[in-house]
């Protein structure tokens, strides 16, 4: 026997029963973000590899080991997008959005790709919803975005939510701090994991992210960036915190929060949910004031977040689901013609009804059972010259009256009768 093909590891099919919850999430996100002035954008599923190498950072986990890169056949390397901020910054420049009144507020929802070890809540193709605001470094934008994600997670019923907050400062202060941290790490290199040790000079901040017990011990006493912010960065951070206090959003300052992307400056944050176990991050983001310039554009401030759809659904309240009930089911009895049934469903759908017809050759009894399974309100039973309309809730059955001057019952007459019943008109 030939081996049966399956979806690739780390991917999944979004089945019909999964869509109610996903659609509800999408509509919530859209309503919430659009009423705060964010407008939807969608960038291509793949981009030049260099966009991520430069934008996300050569030293990050994403660029070092998680990208799906391929040659496009013409010697150019492309990469399935692992995240949305670099592509949106690219699009912002490409479409001259820096000439628009600031801030430019954008949101997105779509699939992303990372070559990771697949497990619950961690996939190789997953969906994110995200929001970005470009062109302003006002701390009110950082706070606004955090409040929006908090509201979304709250509305979705995400359980045991925590907000971790920190500031990474700006490149100057960060460079000075990095040197200090490198020195500290080199002095304690023998107790670090080999992975962290190998990257001391490339990305010392990653050491804060490590699970390795020895490394964690060492990091307890490591110098903290948050204690080395310059005056302007410290003031920006204080503003963001004051605004979150005003909005009654609880947070914990976590000086070890580094996030996996190189482009962050100043504010960084992450929402976690205990409900997720090991993969506890549901969404996060931060400010990235240097990113657009790093990609060859003008100096541009930016701040944003991304949240994983699957993790939000895993950690959220169960959404009610089930197909919308059928309003009219068209059945065939002796003498009834399939083409009339077809014309009737078409007329019913044109009138805005959810209509279905018999398509599996069932007996009349079987058809009524099928209509019941579909939750049908009415069943039209077609015979040679006449038709009856059955009210499924009362089991009452009445003949459909032909239009004036006609012998046979037309599809329109059946639809009118069903509409009268659905609207409660006798």
Beta-sheet pairing, 39-40 with 125-134: unpaired
Residue nearest ligand ATP by beta-carbon distance = 308
Q: How far is CA 274 from the centre of its chain?
A: 19
Through-space distance between the first and last CA atoms of the chain, rounded to whole angstroms: 61
Binding ligand ATP by CB under 6 A: which of 128, 166, 170, 215?
128
By CB under 6 A, tell whether 310 contacts ligand ATP.
Answer: yes
**Judged by CB under 6 A, does residue 126 bind ligand ATP?**
yes
Q: Is 282 in the site for ligand ATP (CB under 6 A)?
A: yes
Stretch that binds ligand ATP, among 211-219, 281-289, 292-300, 358-366 (CB under 6 A): 281-289
Q: Which of 287, 311, 377, 390 binds ligand ATP (CB under 6 A)?
A: 311
Residue 164 or 331 having the CB closest to ligand ATP: 164
Question: Which of 31, 264, 288, 245 lies closest to 151, judged by CA?
Answer: 31
Work out whether 166 is an interface residue with ligand ATP (CB under 6 A).
no
Structure tokens at 299: 């100096």
Q: Using the rule CB under 6 A, is 279 a contact of ligand ATP?
A: yes
| Site size toward ligand ATP, by CB under 6 A | 18
For ligand ATP, which residue of 98, 122, 239, 383 counts as binding (CB under 6 A)? 122
Instruction: Say whether the peptide bond before residue 127 is cis (omega within 30 degrees of 0).
Output: no
Ordered strands of the 396-399 beta sheet: 355-357, 328-332, 378-382, 387-391, 396-399
Q: Of 168, 395, 393, 156, whose CA–CA distance to 289 is shortest?
A: 168
256 contacts ligand ATP (rule: CB under 6 A) = no
User: Using the rule CB under 6 A, is 263 a contact of ligand ATP?
Assistant: no
CB 44 within 8 Å of CB 86? no
Q: Is 378 in the site for ligand ATP (CB under 6 A)?
A: no
Question: 10 Å Cβ neighbour count for 351?
Answer: 15
- Which region, left, alpha or beta, applies to residue 291 given φ > 0 means left and ψ of -120 to 50 means alpha? alpha
114, 199, 236, 266: which one contacts ligand ATP (CB under 6 A)? 114
Phi/psi at 76 (5° precision): -110, 135
Report if residue 20 touches ligand ATP, rule: CB under 6 A: no
Report the distance separating Cα 254 and Cα 94, nearest Å.
36
Select from 93-101, 305-313, 371-379, 406-414 the region that touches ligand ATP (CB under 6 A): 305-313
Query: Judged by CB under 6 A, which stretch of 33-41, 165-173, 176-184, 301-309 contacts ligand ATP?
Result: 301-309
Considering only residues 135, 169, 260, 304, which one is a binding residue for ligand ATP as defined by CB under 6 A?
Answer: 260
- Interacting residues with ligand ATP (CB under 6 A): 83, 114, 116, 122-123, 126, 128, 260, 279, 281-284, 306-308, 310-311
């Amino acid at each position: 026997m030939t081996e049966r093909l399956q979806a690739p590891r780390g991917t999944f099919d979004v089945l019909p029963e999964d869509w109610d919850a996903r659609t509800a999430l999408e509509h919530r996100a859209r309503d919430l973000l659009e009423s705060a002035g964010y407008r939807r954008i969608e960038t291509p599923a793949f981009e030049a590899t260099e966009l991520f190498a430069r934008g996300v950072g050569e030293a990050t986990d994403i660029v070092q080991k998680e990208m799906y890169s391929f040659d496009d056949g013409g010697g150019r390397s492309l990469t399935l997008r692992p995240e949305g901020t670099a592509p949106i910054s690219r699009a912002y420049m490409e479409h001259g959005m820096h000439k628009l009144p600031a801030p430019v507020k954008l949101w997105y929802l779509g699939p992303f790709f990372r070559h990771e070890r697949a497990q619950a809540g961690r996939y190789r193709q997953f969906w994110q919803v995200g929001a970005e605001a470009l062109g302003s470094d006002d701390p009110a934008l950082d706070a606004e975005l955090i409040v929006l994600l908090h509201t979304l997670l709250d509305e979705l019923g995400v359980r045991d939510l925590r907000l971790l907050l920190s500031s990474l400062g700006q490149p100057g202060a960060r460079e000075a701090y990095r040197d200090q941290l490198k020195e500290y790490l080199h002095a304690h290199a023998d107790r670090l994991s080999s992975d962290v040790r190998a990257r001391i000079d490339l990305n010392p901040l990653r050491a804060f992210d490590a699970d390795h017990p020895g490394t964690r011990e060492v990091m307890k006493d490591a110098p903290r960036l948050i204690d080395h912010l310059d005056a302007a960065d410290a003031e920006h951070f204080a503003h963001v915190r004051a605004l979150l206090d005003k909005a009654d959003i609880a947070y914990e300052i976590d000086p070890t929060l580094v996030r996996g992307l190189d482009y962050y400056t100043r504010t960084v944050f992450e929402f976690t949910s205990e409900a997720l176990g090991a993969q506890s991050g549901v969404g996060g983001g931060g400010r990235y004031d240097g990113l657009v310039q790093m990609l060859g554009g003008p100096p541009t401030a930016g701040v944003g977040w991304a949240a994983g759809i699957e993790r939000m659904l895993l950690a959220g309240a169960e959404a009610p689901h089930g197909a919308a009930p059928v309003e009219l089911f068209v059945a065939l009895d002796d003498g009834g013609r399939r083409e009339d049934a077809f014309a009737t469903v078409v007329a019913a759908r044109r009138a805005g009804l959810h209509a279905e017809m018999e398509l599996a050759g069932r007996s009349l009894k079987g058809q009524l059972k099928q209509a019941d399974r579909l939750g049908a309100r009415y069943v039209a039973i077609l015979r040679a010259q006449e038709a009856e309309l059955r009210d499924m809730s009362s089991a009452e059955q009445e003949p459909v009256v032909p239009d004036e001057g006609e012998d046979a019952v037309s599809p329109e007459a059946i639809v009118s009768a069903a509409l009268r019943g659905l609207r409660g008109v006798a």
